Structure 1
Amino acid sequence: MHKLVIVDDEYLVRLGIRETIDWAANGIEVIGDASNGKQGYEMIKELNPDLVITDIKMPIMNGVDLVKTLHKEGFNGEIVVLSGYKDFEYAKETFENGIFSYVVKPIDNDELLEVVLRAVAKLEQKIKDRTLTSKVQTELPTLQSEFMKKLLSSNSFVGSDIPSELSNHDISLPTNGTMALISIEEMFKSKKSELNIYINLLKEALSKEKIAFVDFDFQDSIVMFLNSNDIEKISLICRDTFIPFEQKTLTALTVGLTLYSSLEYIQKTYESCLKLVQSKLLFHLNTVEMELDDQTSYRHRQSISQFYSIIAEKYSMQLTVRSVSDEMNVSESYLMHLLKDNLGKTFNEILTGYRIGIAKRLLLSGKYRINEVSDKVGYIDVKYFSQVFKKIVGVTPSDYQGHDIG
């Protein structure tokens, strides 16, 4: 039932509107009537009706002032104004304040009912529109994330105008900057809710550094677009945020960072981030620009990809700069500069980080003793392995494996 309040200074008019029209049969309930605008205003504020029928000329507060006040305060219902022929010019002012319609006195019941029912139809449409808008606003982030995942990880948009596709889905991204892909291991999916807390901490830290971002939740990972090319600063912020998360939850987390120079390249950028994550080089960075016509940049990308493959395949062996550079057919100097200039780390830092990342997974699997894990990740000396592990993770392998952390 829609609720109706009647405001008119003539008692017989109020009585006639209330009693001579079968409101209930039309889904309407008269919940009150008032003899002047002030009394009507107070009643409307208290009862919050869907519909108001009000006269124009009334003592204390007239109908025009009542309509103006309700409009100013954001009344969401529909208002029908009653006016005599001589009051029509005066009544027209109410149209500027959002009334639905007017009925000229003396009142014809059929005409008044027809106008009120049209007001009800408009009211119901507004309710539907608000519900739809609310639903769209609620579901929009999910819909946008689904679109972004399809855009980045499928071939459906090859050759498309990416900026236009983004605009069509009401998505605004930095035109260039850094993409971050944050992924949690399959065996730790139950920690996703805790990860979200740290994602919010990351957002706060980025905001403090005045780094704007747009993020999308892909369920199994989170993708962020940041309007900064300072990939080293972003890396440090990620480390400061997520290392405590790993230590507290004993969860293996992987972050891939890649610069992009144009929105046209974000699919290639995502592939680069995904490769970093899949290779499980924890927190290691790919800073190579996605300029596909730059042959020098292309060579670096190829070399870095080859380096990753060797590390991922042979991390358990006694690798050195020389052995890896020989396999890549490059000089030791070239390899060291390639890693430092493009990944921001030394050969040993990258190798150690990768080995410890694998060790964490092996320890948490519960299938191996510490000495077995040490051997599997390339450390002959278990004591030295434990020292390196504690330096990077913050706890000993035995504490990490036994979850013995306060």
Structure 2
Amino acid sequence: MFKVLIAEDEDLIRKGLAYTIDWAKMGCMVVGEASNGEEGIKKIEELSPDLVITDIKMPIMDGLQMLQNFKEREFEAIIITGYGEFEYAKKAIELDVFDYLLKPIDEDKLYEVVGEVTKRISEKEILRKLKNTVKDIENIKLIDTEIYCQKSSYKYKNTPVVIDYIVHNYANKISIEDIADQLEVSPSYLSKKFKDDTCHTFNDFLNSYRIQKAINLLTEGKYKVYEIAEMVGFSDYKYFSYVFKSYMCCSPMEFLKANVLVRGGDSESNTAYSAELN
């Protein structure tokens, strides 16, 4: 339920909004009331509402002054007032107020606006969770294959051969046995030497490189997730999702959504995202 705070100095209007509106129908509940801006500030700090509905003209401190006290506010705001002057509307816009309603309040309009604002609140909450879930790519501990390819001091001469094979064949079904056969060495011996040199198993190195390629394709926004899975060498979509999540701490779809929401996304990425959901 979304928490609503109503700040209004006229008792009849404040109580009317609190008790005659079907807030539960809109997924909301009124958690507090305030009769002036100062009281409103205390209630906001105490109750952490998702939505504040406030009158502009109130004693002690008006609604706009109250909102100005929250420079980086975490709640949405709707202004209600009997004053329709442009300056009030302009100030409300500067404060990033969601909407501006005139008294007497049209109940149908109120339902419409609250429905729209709760949708925005939900989207912001999803975005917040995604930002917490999807870590910055720079902080993800994936393998920088280019650095490995540039190394020239490997103790084992075939380590660069294995890396080069991964780089050029990651989109296909490959295994350490394939490379060992070509090099005419034991797979177990090759695996051990590769891990000694890179501190990664063959499969970990391969999967990490594939996930990096998948990230690049996801951020391009041109392909569906199942297409990307095949393009980076995963014939099983479920296994691709499992491996992706083990590295990224989120599913490919969550990463795709975060890329669109966090980075804004261009028309192509939004189209791809919409197609993926459908």
Which bracket does the TM-score occupy, shorter chain normalised? 0.5 to 0.7
Gaps of 5+ in 2: 158-278
| 1:96 counterpart residue number | 94
2:65 aligned with 1:65, yes or no? yes
CA contact (8 A) 2:5 2:49 kept: yes
- Following superposition, the deviation at residue 128 of structure 1 comes to 0.8
Deviation of 1:88 (Å)? 4.3
The TM-score with structure 1 as length reference comes to: 0.37
Distance 1:50 1:99 in 2: 13
2:119 corresponds to 1:108: no
> 1:62-111 CA deviation, whole Å, 9 max, x = no partner?
011011112x1x22111000122444422420211221111111101111
Match in the other structure for 1:401: none
Aligned to 1:43: 43
Secondary structure (helix, strand or coil) at the match of 2:112 reads helix
Q: 1:268 Cα shift?
A: 4.0
* C-alpha distance in structure 2 between counterparts of 1:99 and 1:86, whole Å: 15
Q: How far apart are 1:130 and its partner, in Å?
A: 1.2
TM-fit CA distance, 1:121: 0.4
Identical aligned residues as a percent = 41
Change (3 A) 1:8 1:88: farther
> In the TM superposition, what is the alpha-carbon distance from 1:25 to its structure 2 partner?
1.8
> 1:384-405 CA deviation, whole Å, 9 max, x = no partner?
xxxxxxxxxxxxxxxxxxxxxx
1:269 is the counterpart of 2:269 = no
CA distance in 1, matches of 2:20, 2:118: 19
Q: Counterparts of 1:37 and 1:3 in 2: how far apart (Å)?
A: 18
Counterpart residue type for residue 68 of structure 1: Q
Residue type of the alignment partner of 2:106: D
Once residues 76 and 40 of structure 1 are traced to their aligned partners in structure 2, the CA distance between those partners, rounded to angstroms, is 15
Residue pair 1:68, 1:94 contacting (<8 A) in 2 also = no
Residues 7-406 of structure 1 aligned to structure 2 (within 5 Å): 7-70=7-70, 72=71, 74-137=72-135, 141-142=139-140, 145-146=142-143, 148=144, 151-152=145-146, 266-270=147-151, 272-273=152-153, 275-276=154-155, 278=156
1:393 maps to: none
Q: Which amino acid aligns with 1:269?
A: Q
- The alignment yields a C-alpha RMSD, in angstroms, of 1.9
Higher relative contact order (CA 8 A, sep 6+): 2
Count residues with an aligned counterpart.
157
Separation of aligned partners in 2, 1:75 and 1:32: 17
Please name the residue that 2:229 is paired with. none
Distance 1:105 1:145 in 2: 57
Distance 1:18 1:78, change over 3 A: same
Q: Is the 8 Å Cα contact of residues 92 and 100 (structure 2) preserved in structure 1?
A: no
Q: Tell me which amino acid in the other structure corresponds to 2:94.
A: E
**What are structure 1's unaligned runs of at least 5 residues?**
153-265, 280-406
1:139 Cα deviation (Å)?
7.2
Q: Is the 8 A contact 1:64 1:91 kept in 2?
A: no
Return closer, same or farther for 1:119/1:50 CA change in 2, 3 Å cut-off.
Answer: same
Q: Is the 8 A contact 2:5 2:32 kept in 1?
A: yes
Instruction: Decide whether the 8 Å contact of 2:84 with 2:102 is kept in 1.
Output: no
Aligned-residue offset at 1:39: 0.3
Measured after TM superposition, the shift of residue 14 of structure 1 is 0.5
For 1:95 and 1:22, locate their aligned partners in 2 and report how far apart those are by CA, in whole Å: 27
CA distance in 2: counterparts of 1:64 and 1:133, whole angstroms: 30
| Aligned-partner Cα distance in 2 for 1:57–1:88 | 15
Q: Deviations over 1:210-248 (max 9, x none)?
A: xxxxxxxxxxxxxxxxxxxxxxxxxxxxxxxxxxxxxxx
TM-score, normalised by the number of residues in structure 2: 0.53
- In the alignment, is the contact (CA less than 8 A) between 2:5 and 2:33 conserved in 1? yes
Q: CA deviation at 1:141?
A: 2.9
Larger radius of gyration: 1
The 1:48/1:102 distance shift into structure 2, 3 A limit, reads same
Verify the 8 A CA contact 2:83 2:102 in the aligned structure 1: yes
Could you tell me how far apart the structure 1 residues matched to 2:95 and 2:34 are? 21
